[in-house]
Amino acid sequence: MKKINYIIILILIVLNSVLAYKIKSNTTEFRTIYSLLNKKLDKNKSAVIKFEHNFIREQKNENLQLDSNFELLDILGNKVFAKDILKKNSLVFRFSELNCGDCIDAEINALINNKDKIKKNVILISYYQNPRNLFVFYNEFQKKGLVNFEMYLSPAKGLGIPLDQQNIPYYFCVNSNLIMNNFFIPQKEKPKLSQVYLECTSKNFLN
């Protein structure tokens, strides 16, 4: 009888150990899943907040007029004015060497990938501390396949609009009256947004 009781107690101890192990394992697994979900939720929250901030920044620049005498340099080093080069509906990609390098590269690639849809009136306005870099990067972009575009150097770090304060590359549309609208702040981790923006701009504004 004592032997049977001993066996029963031993079985109960084993079962209890197994149960405790499973509970511990499930708790660890639950904590892992919970941690992953929290990280994903935080990432989504950050993306939403970034989208909201970008939307507000874009809207603050809508329908501003670019100074007609805003000075630029062409690739030959000649001085030109905004009113001389923006005589029709154009898409402008504005960037500076002080911006995120990967962000600029992502948009150059986006423009290259959509070059068959945007065949005219694409203007790049850049800022380089060394003006010679304008010619260097103009040739580099052409070698990569970006051929249907004009490129100018802005001696000033900005265009005199609020968005310049953000130190980020951006797009906008501008008409012959130098009214700027349809601002777009691209995100390198979301290339689909840039693709849609370029497609819609080409279809609805440039054509």
- Kindly list the averaged pLDDT for each block of 10 residues, start to end, along the chain of length 207: 56 57 56 62 69 86 95 94 94 94 94 86 94 92 88 88 92 96 95 94 88
The pLDDT value recorded for residue 34 is 56
pLDDT at residue number 11: 62
Q: pTM for the whole thing?
A: 0.78
Residue located via tokens 């130098």:
178
Residues 69, 96, 183, 144: what is their CA dihedral angle, to the nearest 10 degrees?
Answer: 110
pLDDT of residue 139: 92
CA geometry: angle at 196 spanning 162 and 127, to 5°?
Answer: 40
- Residue 172 confidence (pLDDT): 97
CATH number for the domain running over 63-206: 3.40.30.10
